[in-house]
Amino acid sequence: MAAKSDVWQGTLALMVLKTLETLGPLHGYGIARRIEQTSGDLLEVRYGTLYPALLKLEQEGFISAEWGVSDNNRRAKYYALTRAGRKQLAKEAHEWGQTADIIARFISPSEEAS
């Protein structure tokens, strides 16, 4: 079984925003588990990386946070996507799509590019 990789720098915000868009409000633990699950357990989300990213996204207005009670009856901070976050998600997804297309040209150059 392959070792888990850390989340690539610059991708965590996109993954958090997409997770919240897909599943709605979640607490940090739920966001981390969903990202790991979606990656097929190939990525590992470290809390020392996740919580500063959540704070930054909240300060930028892309997510909102509200205290609530988790499934196991513990107090937890729930994060939700804001309208600005939806716009940012669309922007970042577009940019990452373009980046992936560019990298693909280097990995598998076509005959036309020669």
Query: What is the reported pLDDT for 3?
Result: 67
Average pLDDT of 86-110? Answer: 92
Assess if residue 111 is contained within a domain: no
Assess if residue 112 is contained within a domain: no
Here the CATH number for the domain that contains residue 80 is 1.10.10.10
pLDDT digits (tens, 9 = 90+) for 29-51: 999 999 999 999 999 999 899 99
Assess if residue 45 is contained within a domain: yes
Give the domain extent around 79.
5-106
Assess if residue 114 is contained within a domain: no
Assess if residue 31 is contained within a domain: yes
Count up the domains in the chain and report the number.
1
Which tokens is 43 given? 């990525």
pLDDT of 12 over the 80 cut: yes
Q: Please state the φ and ψ torsions of residue 46, each to the nearest 5 degrees.
A: -90, 140
Tokens 């590992």, residue? 44
Q: Please state the φ and ψ torsions of residue 36, each to the nearest 5 degrees.
A: -65, -45
Q: Is the separation of the CB atoms in 26 and 40 below 8 Å?
A: no
